[in-house]
Structure 1
């Protein structure tokens, strides 16, 4: 896909309205005409906000505009195209593009029309039509048309990251019915969330990309239609966005009180300790703190004590998902689940949590942690109905043993169990080294990392593996090399994250299914190839009720856990934010996800902070 000359994607126009012999609309078209046009769609139940709502409940429509927000980004970047395999895209690029719809952070999964002024969804979910707002235009003044929507869909599906192909797999066709109406036809109605997923489609300008090469990285200031545009690019070091003063959607109810800050600056740091120092010195305004150690110890400064720096934990109502050491099953020594289970037994979460994280975390025990979708105990009757057809293909433990992640035993008995599993898999210790008895080769393992702070976290794991005779090493590389190896799955183990929403769906194909196991840059990092997993992902996607979705997620969770594809790490049900006290934001926070677009710069506070920082120079 990468490296090809961009060819214009043909736009497929809809056929004229079908007429019966008597000149009347046929039954199918009449049904289309009878579907009501709505302002929003929800996965289940109805949207919380009615037609004519004035603003999102967590936004302040009176918020002042102006100021700058400076944040740190990690590593480097060499592209402003976030949609392709090649290159390392800059942070924040999503802010230059509008989507057909946008979600509310206060609801589990509801999409409100953004570019879409009206939405018609077939009650049986076989098709959807969207009417574009006539006032919507790109930053160069060109109107956003249905042909731009068709172009964007086909471009991303055919030339973009494999993620899009997985996400849109059940879309049979997309066509421009008229200049401002687009129709999506679905190959089946088994994915209840597909219409909402299509609402997340970023719309790219066909007239801009027609003669440009899409599949290679670029550092051009790409054209969008969103609330921000690219103002400055310093390759690998900084990218700056400015608020678009004449943004077409600034007065939409969905946007009132949002996108208040004039300039968004992302400064790049290869070392997060240097980024922390820059924040403390006032060179950065906000820091999303991922380190529990830093949160506990690094903010003991006068600026925190006198309130110049505030520390806020923004709650997150979404499932925690799975973060862990991902095991690449494509490697010969890692394709045996007994080996993978042994590796997991050597990880001592309790020690790491107490000695490195000040007890801040809880162990992740599910791929859908902190939700009703997490498997618990033994499978119930509803789960068994999904799992029983595959009883001969699954380990017996799936049906009759407690879930494997939780490990309350001390480390020593776990290491004994791990060594027993390794011996069952054909390994034994010779002169202190674990070797394959058939080939005589030692068992070696490399942890591939790009952030140096993970080195100290991984070292205790490496020491425990050495006690099993496993030769392990940690390799820290720059972010570009890391991403290149990740795309080609050239690693033994990495730290990976599989985020989950309250309503998982099509993205699970990209995470777990056989179709994406060898697709470059797919998110099936572990290389899972299991027809049972494939089938359970399909069950999850076609769930047509909350209860069925929860059951399908539990069944998938259970089978993934018994596949030992990940050594689970930890989770924290919130986002730690350190910020210089010149920003204001509505309270309470939205219930499900943080939304920093509703923050604003308070001019009085900003002046006081600037004076304070000048006095310290």
Structure 2
């Protein structure tokens, strides 16, 4: 109640907001009407009559040692969130719209000073205990106190959470500028207060936790496999947002340390579905009888998401990478055109924006609206932002990159580096050796040519491949020089940008500011993007931020493709209309009249599986 006392000077405004707020079945970013009305029956991208039953077998990479995804300990299992329900859930064919799940209705204050969730009285956990406002309050406070540090950033705009009655909870905000905060809170999982009352939330482990969602953990083989079973009496199974979804009775995931081994297991029928991430494999590795006979199906599904940015990132906490000229020089030595032709079968496009594949991506020179954002920062951001359209270097694909080498060499000399006995040394006179941290062996073939190109400049690139657990630990503690990382984007970027780019997240363990960016100008651009009050303004602010990130050369941009490449056995079916923003496997089903390639095991291991 301290928050309410603090608001007494503006209580008239608060009461006005309370008086005029209207409960809604859905919430949108700019208060535009959602696609689906209050009486909708199901989403367009599902088959409402999809059969229930069967098993969906997938493969995971690396391993896991925790079923607690909310803390910064251990490696959590990848699908564990399926056991939890959230206050609301985002549709997969709208940019950013959420429909009530645990919440029957959602109310936003007209001045955006608070949001209220009214819970469904029938909502319950798997043990039958009802879900109530006290569970929401417990969840929020626990995540803020004991959860991963990213929650404290994500929910930083919340001043207080109030249980108004057993079925109503209100979140009061510190400011009224953050339009995305009600939607962020809608994504809050509801954890059972009574369950955690006798357990240590900070402890990672493999005890199956109590949830409320469409699936529950049925069996665990530590680090190797997991089995989920559909909750037959799931309280929300008949809600319109769930109709046609969660059709499989059983979900199993077997973990492989090598994706090439996993691909062979797919072709042998050991599991059912695989999302192919390697262009060479997509082009050459599926020439098998099962594919030719259309028992194993290859399909490319449209991807309407901004593809975001993947790249070889520099750890700016290392003195080696403090100078942008050094980062630019190292980027020049990656020959994408050769790699695309020789390694990727020409499947990819170079990524030129942090918001690629959307209207949020910058291009050309800043327009008048962008200049209004950027001009106050002149002198604090690279001058090229104002004068030169950003473009990645382009080679002829022959593998000869003499022009890039000359440019890179000059940049390194300008930065104070020089060559001694055929070795490049930095400003301290120390020979330059860069360790590239890896967990995926597939990237080694991409990095070996890059290693050779750097060696031509006298720079040693050491490829350090570690297992999944070591990788997570070293990444979390920022113990790397370079690594592959990605910064996924939605069509409505918002608070997550703080985790990527802002100074406050650079030294916080658990944040996604892997690069270690600490730049007041970027902080300002990030905040102004989050506070944009119209779609047009959001686009201009995204363009401005994009330009500044690109011209700082924080990473070596990678590549993208505008489809999802999936391979699956023909006993699986999926809706005729795919969701725009997701593969949507939870809308798929098992065909009752088609037998799996290999009979489904009753355990959690596949026979003969190699790890």
Report which stretch shifted further, 319-328 or 43-52.
43-52
Report which stretch shifted further, 406-415 or 442-451.
406-415
CA distance in 2: counterparts of 1:397 and 1:148, whole angstroms? 51
What residue in structure 2 maps to residue 232 of structure 1?
A: 219
In structure 2, relative to structure 1, the CA distance for the partners of 1:234 and 1:352 (3 Å cut) is: same
What residue ranges of structure 1 are gaps of 5+ in the alignment? 1-11, 20-24, 612-617
Task: Return the match for 1:415 from 385, 400, 405.
Answer: 405
Matched, 1:468 2:457: yes
Q: Equivalent residue of 1:371, what SS?
A: coil
Task: Return the match for 2:573 from 584, 595, 604.
Answer: 584
In structure 2, relative to structure 1, the CA distance for the partners of 1:295 and 1:501 (3 Å cut) is: same
TM-score when normalising by structure 2: 0.94
Matched, 1:391 2:381: no
Shift of 1:370: 1.0
What residue in structure 1 maps to residue 267 of structure 2?
A: 280
Matched, 1:350 2:337: yes
What residue in structure 1 maps to residue 139 of structure 2?
A: 152
Task: Return the match for 1:519 from 492, 495, 508.
Answer: 508
CA distance in 2: counterparts of 1:132 and 1:318, whole angstroms? 31
What residue in structure 1 maps to residue 29 of structure 2?
A: 43
Shift of 1:405: 2.6
Shift of 1:389: 0.8
Q: Equivalent residue of 1:392, what SS?
A: coil
What residue in structure 1 maps to residue 483 of structure 2?
A: 494
Shift of 1:402: 2.2
What residue in structure 2 maps to residue 70 of structure 1?
A: 57
CA distance in 1: counterparts of 2:146 and 2:300, whole angstroms? 39
Task: Return the match for 2:467 from 453, 461, 478.
Answer: 478
Q: Give yes or no for contact 1:14–1:176 (8 Å, CA) kept in 2.
A: no
Shift of 1:31: 3.9
Shift of 1:449: 0.2
Q: Equivalent residue of 1:279, what SS?
A: helix
- Deviation track 1:20-78 (CA, whole Å, cap 9, x = no partner) reads xxxxx977446414311110011232101001111111111111111001111000110
Matched, 1:162 2:116: no
How many aligned residue pairs are there?
A: 593
Shift of 1:162: 2.0
In structure 2, relative to structure 1, the CA distance for the partners of 1:546 and 1:26 (3 Å cut) is: closer
Task: Return the match for 2:419 from 423, 429, 452.
Answer: 429
Q: Equivalent residue of 1:603, what SS?
A: coil
Task: Return the match for 1:455 from 438, 444, 453.
Answer: 444
Q: Equivalent residue of 2:190, what SS?
A: coil
Q: Equivalent residue of 1:118, what SS?
A: strand
Task: Return the match for 1:563 from 531, 542, 552.
Answer: 552
- Deviation track 1:562-582 (CA, whole Å, cap 9, x = no partner) reads 111110000011211100001
Shift of 1:383: 0.9
Shift of 1:14: 9.5
Matched, 1:382 2:372: no
What residue in structure 2 maps to residue 179 of structure 1?
A: 166
TM-score when normalising by structure 1: 0.94
CA distance in 1: counterparts of 2:241 and 2:566, whole angstroms? 25
CA distance in 2: counterparts of 1:325 and 1:509, whole angstroms? 20
What residue ranges of structure 2 are gaps of 5+ in the alignment? 601-611
Report which stretch shifted further, 67-76 or 599-608.
599-608
Q: Give yes or no for contact 1:486–1:521 (8 Å, CA) kept in 2.
A: no
Q: Give yes or no for contact 2:270–2:598 (8 Å, CA) kept in 1.
A: no
Q: Equivalent residue of 1:367, what SS?
A: coil
In structure 2, relative to structure 1, the CA distance for the partners of 1:140 and 1:418 (3 Å cut) is: same
List structure 1 segments (4+ residues) > 6 angstroms apart after TM superposition. Answer: 12-16
Report which stretch shifted further, 82-91 or 149-158.
149-158
